[in-house]
Structure 1
Amino acid sequence: MPTAPPSGAVLLLDIKGGIGPATRDYLRSGLKRANEEGARAVVLRIDTPGGLDAATRDINQSILASPVPVIAWVAPEGARAASAGTYILYACHLAAMAPATSLGAATPVSMGGPGAGPERAPDEPRGQREAPAGNAPATGPSPRQEPRDAMSRKAINDAVGYLRSLAELRGRNGDFAEAAVRDAATLTATQALSQGVIEIVAGNTDQLLRQAHGRKVRLAQRETTLDLVGQPVTVVTPDWRARLLAVLTEPTVAYLLLLIGLYGLVFEGYSPGAILPGMVGAICLLLAAYGLQVLPVNYAGVALIVLGVALIAIEFAMPSVGAAGVGGVVALVAGSLILFDTQVPGFGVPGGLIAGIGGATALVFMGMIWLASRARRQPVVSGQEELIGQLAVATRDFDGAGQVHIRGEHWQASSAVPVRRGQAVRVLALDGLVLRVAPDEETTPPH
């Protein structure tokens, strides 16, 4: 049986930023620790723009099954529990907010982009609508307009049913839950308290524990009365695994790992046996694959990025007057833009980074074209063609065909005019393995 720890009877977990697999693992670990240590309660300090649906539902399942009371607290001042944060708040046994915080805007978004989600009413302004104060349901002045396509209606209705079921379980305002999904309605802390969405408004942990003390909450198997006044609070920080997962599932990091991995394999192909580029590239690709498989990825974007890098590599290997390189840069930028679903809050690649990578790739490509064009204008300095214009010495007298000595080698030669032994001749052209020569006027003495 778990025993109460000598200190840390209340565990404080921070949910900050986009909610994803790292957040899920961190919260599960915290709830497990709370159960093992016999903690009096777990406080989730929430400040999130939203996140992934699968991770959010996993978190809620852990909260609903927790034998330790879980208190959601939107804090500090200025924080928000938008989108996925609202679902988590509704699942917790107690819900609290700090002053100057907000919650709501829980409309699910689709990987299909803006057009795949519910449409706003014709006269409704863009952005989130705030629910009215008081006990009236959170509706706007314009009539509600349902999504036209079946998939959007299915997602919306599923989210409404899910959030309403959590509201009924915890005895909270179900009308606002539906409005938060259908109309992206939001509430401030004061409005949420007056409308029965939360139970407590508290600016710090002491106020939170004092107001929560003595309240009855229903756990999975039983009811319990919270005894929290004077209990010490321990902040639970993520372990190294959770921190590593958080880094790998950061969209920007996963995107950069993908590019480094692809370019590493390309460089290894150009210099077989170098080992280091290929090794680094393979490791980065595997790490990128791990991060991408838990993120809202558009695999058409991945395919475009791979195609772009391949076309750029082909341009370096077999110059095609820039056609493959230009296509590669366009494919790389297009794939980067659609790689992640930017509709999911907190899960997108900054446009500045994409522009920077695209611009750097284009500059390298243009530099390569400039170097190639300049090389074409230079005289040939290797191979047989470099003999053209060079001086040779006739090894014997000949009129027509003969032999000359040039750069330590003897070559067959032909001349339209007679050539004397030892006379300097200049190479005019190369006909197969025969040099076409003519006496050099600058070095030939006058008769």
Structure 2
Amino acid sequence: MIERAVRLAGFLACIWAISLLPSAHAQTPVDGARAQHVIVLDIKGGIGPATRDYLVRGLDRAADESAAAVVVRIDTPGGLDAATRDINQAILASPVPVIGWVTPQGARAASAGTYILYACHLAAMSPATSLGAATPVQMGGGASGSDPAGDRAGNRTLSGPGADKGLPDAQRQAPQGAEGVGGEGPNAPKRQGKDDARTHKVINDSVAYLRSLAELRGRDAGFAESAVRDAATLTAAQALQQRVVEIIADDMDSLLDQADGREVGVRGGPVALSTRGAAVTTLAPDWRSSMLAVLTNPSVAYMLLLAGMYGLLLEGYSPGAIVPGVVGAICLLLALYALQVLPVNYAGVGLIALGVLLMGLEFSVPSFGALGIGGIVALVAGSLILFDTDVPGFGVPGQLILGIGIASALSFMGLVWVLARSRTREVSVAAGAMVGQQAIAIEDFIGRGQVRIRGEIWQAESPMPVERGQSLQVQSMDGLVLHVTHVGPAVAVRSGKTGVPP
């Protein structure tokens, strides 16, 4: 019996082992397919903290999943220097090959996009796209003579066409219609050698950075320097001819086919790309990146700053209201977080805070409108210089500033009108609410005396003698004097409730 049981167990074990063979055989293609998938990330619009967070997390996920490659689709006018350098550091440290692709047609990799494209292991462009114009722009009103490394705090931006507005006149580029966008055409002004030390340090730092990326990837270093110093640009065909990019691709399939078999150097050593026919997974921003993108939007940060200041101001005028204070504190902390990662002129923040404070003081200090008007002017002036509006994607719209200024002025004038009207209105008491109420006499009196009603002490008149503690009823009211009649006998009145001696 035992022998038969052992044989049956062995037979079942053999069947179980055989049943696993197809599964093991089928698992190999699944793992292979997993290793052959490509993750797609998108850079669209201005490059800031949210873009950095999204790209870094996407590259980490690609490394965890052992993806064949990461394709970064680029369409940007530029962005913040600090965020761009963090993205490039993540690309340089990535064990997964990164393919930078300027797409769709009509897109551009201006300024910060050029730096990212140079950092990628493989660079590609779609037809009718462009790159370049990588001149850095100083933002935030930093002190002159600061070190370029100090710009990692976020005061420098890498902006696209029009970025030369932040440079001295001698450094500005030729207008449209010269040889190339921002090139050295015949109409371009000659350099006068009047650039200050700060501009030279920033330009030279950016040139060295982009040249180092070009030398690392074996790309044209001459254009890298020209893109920074002269804001030079290239079309897709020109970039391919000058060895700035390696591929021109119309669509994803063409890009992956042309990239297949190319050898690139990643952190772990040379890797041969195997992307032909790979599955494509587009990674959308998660809730964290989306929330960060909203918070670091300059318009949202500006509104949060105002909401926080007004909330704390209302809490100061109405202690114990709680809601304005709580909401104001939360909004102010979120605004401060956004401002510390954005290129902010803190003189603008100071003017906005001063404006809100002056408008608040107007209602407690008799200034006949001087404080309020000064507050509105300070608020609008601070809003205008809070961000550099010459950089795409990092300015507060003028319509929003105008709307805030008008709303603040109307609110201020409305409150002033209400207060002025209340000063001319005679003091009145709701007589109808007092008639019919019961009062308690707090003293003996004949004619006029004092009574207690609804916790208050009033003057009262009675046609009959009144004893202390007697219940009375209000019949009418003459100014601040109540006319009362008897409704009950006198009762004991304790001094603790009436506030008078027993």
Asked whether the two chains share a fold, i.e. TM above 0.5, the reply is: yes
C-alpha contact 2:140 2:343 (8 A) present in aligned 1: no
**1:332 & 1:25 partners in 2: Cα distance?**
32
Q: SS at 2:100's partner residue?
A: strand
- Return closer, same or farther for 1:128/1:293 CA change in 2, 3 Å cut-off: farther
Aligned equivalent of 1:397: none
Q: SS at 1:237's partner residue?
A: coil
Please tell me whether residue 140 in structure 1 is matched to residue 185 in structure 2: yes
Which of 287, 293, 303 does residue 256 from structure 1 map onto? 303
Aligned equivalent of 1:153: 200
Aligned equivalent of 2:328: 281
Instruction: Please give the per-residue CA displacement for 1:8-50, whole angstroms capped at 9, x wherever unaligned.
Output: 7100000111111111111111111111111110000011111
C-alpha contact 2:40 2:280 (8 A) present in aligned 1: yes
C-alpha contact 2:183 2:231 (8 A) present in aligned 1: no
Q: SS at 2:350's partner residue?
A: helix
Instruction: Please give the per-residue CA displacement for 1:263-303, whole angstroms capped at 9, x wherever unaligned.
Output: 11111112211111111001111111111111111111111
Correspondence 1:24-35 to 2 at 5 A: 24-35=52-63
Which of 280, 289, 296 does residue 233 from structure 1 map onto? 280
**1:119 alignment partner AA:** P
Instruction: Please give the per-residue CA displacement for 1:336-355, whole angstroms capped at 9, x wherever unaligned.
Output: 11112334432111111111
C-alpha contact 1:128 1:186 (8 A) present in aligned 2: no
Please tell me whether residue 14 in structure 1 is matched to residue 14 in structure 2: no
C-alpha contact 1:97 1:201 (8 A) present in aligned 2: yes
Which of 93, 100, 119 does residue 168 from structure 2 map onto? 119
Which of 36, 41, 45 does residue 73 from structure 2 map onto? 45
C-alpha contact 2:164 2:172 (8 A) present in aligned 1: no
Please tell me whether residue 380 in structure 1 is matched to residue 426 in structure 2: yes
C-alpha contact 1:129 1:184 (8 A) present in aligned 2: no
Percent of pairs identical after alignment? 65
- Return closer, same or farther for 1:192/1:128 CA change in 2, 3 Å cut-off: farther
Aligned equivalent of 2:439: none
Q: SS at 1:297's partner residue?
A: coil
**1:174 & 1:147 partners in 2: Cα distance?**
26
Q: SS at 1:316's partner residue?
A: coil
Please tell me whether residue 366 in structure 1 is matched to residue 418 in structure 2: no
**2:252 alignment partner AA:** T
Aligned equivalent of 2:356: 309
**1:366 alignment partner AA:** M
Post-superposition shift, 1:122? 8.9
Aligned equivalent of 1:336: 383
- Tell me the TM-score normalised to structure 1 length: 0.79
Post-superposition shift, 1:7? 7.5
**1:66 alignment partner AA:** S
Aligned equivalent of 1:439: none
- Tell me the TM-score normalised to structure 2 length: 0.71
Correspondence 1:336-415 to 2 at 5 A: 336-376=383-423, 378-382=424-428
Aligned equivalent of 1:418: none
- Return closer, same or farther for 1:153/1:218 CA change in 2, 3 Å cut-off: same
Post-superposition shift, 1:125? 3.8
C-alpha contact 1:43 1:72 (8 A) present in aligned 2: yes
C-alpha contact 1:12 1:236 (8 A) present in aligned 2: yes
C-alpha contact 2:92 2:267 (8 A) present in aligned 1: yes
Q: SS at 2:138's partner residue?
A: coil
- Return closer, same or farther for 1:139/1:215 CA change in 2, 3 Å cut-off: farther
**1:92 & 1:327 partners in 2: Cα distance?**
52
**1:42 & 1:175 partners in 2: Cα distance?**
27
**1:239 & 1:160 partners in 2: Cα distance?**
34
Aligned equivalent of 1:62: 90
**2:213 alignment partner AA:** L
- Return closer, same or farther for 1:43/1:235 CA change in 2, 3 Å cut-off: same
Aligned equivalent of 1:323: 370
Q: SS at 2:57's partner residue?
A: helix
**1:31 & 1:208 partners in 2: Cα distance?**
19
- Return closer, same or farther for 1:5/1:37 CA change in 2, 3 Å cut-off: farther
Post-superposition shift, 1:209? 0.8
- Return closer, same or farther for 1:72/1:239 CA change in 2, 3 Å cut-off: same
Q: SS at 1:306's partner residue?
A: helix
Please tell me whether residue 98 in structure 1 is matched to residue 126 in structure 2: yes
Larger CA deviation: 113-122 vs 297-306: 113-122
Q: SS at 1:6's partner residue?
A: helix
- Return closer, same or farther for 1:221/1:243 CA change in 2, 3 Å cut-off: same
C-alpha contact 1:82 1:103 (8 A) present in aligned 2: yes
Q: SS at 2:79's partner residue?
A: coil
Please tell me whether residue 245 in structure 1 is matched to residue 292 in structure 2: yes
Aligned equivalent of 2:267: 220
Aligned equivalent of 1:72: 100
**2:101 alignment partner AA:** W
**1:283 & 1:200 partners in 2: Cα distance?**
49
**1:187 & 1:36 partners in 2: Cα distance?**
36
Post-superposition shift, 1:117? 4.5
- Return closer, same or farther for 1:362/1:104 CA change in 2, 3 Å cut-off: same
Correspondence 1:202-221 to 2 at 5 A: 202-221=249-268
**1:200 & 1:282 partners in 2: Cα distance?**
51
Post-superposition shift, 1:121? 4.7
Q: SS at 1:187's partner residue?
A: strand
- Return closer, same or farther for 1:4/1:101 CA change in 2, 3 Å cut-off: same
Alignment: residue pair count: 385
Aligned CA-pair RMSD: 2.8
- Return closer, same or farther for 1:71/1:308 CA change in 2, 3 Å cut-off: same
**2:185 alignment partner AA:** G
Post-superposition shift, 1:334? 0.8
**1:122 & 1:20 partners in 2: Cα distance?**
26
Aligned equivalent of 2:117: 89
Post-superposition shift, 1:59? 0.7
C-alpha contact 1:216 1:224 (8 A) present in aligned 2: yes
- Return closer, same or farther for 1:239/1:129 CA change in 2, 3 Å cut-off: farther
Q: SS at 2:195's partner residue?
A: coil
Which of 289, 294, 300 does residue 341 from structure 2 map onto? 294
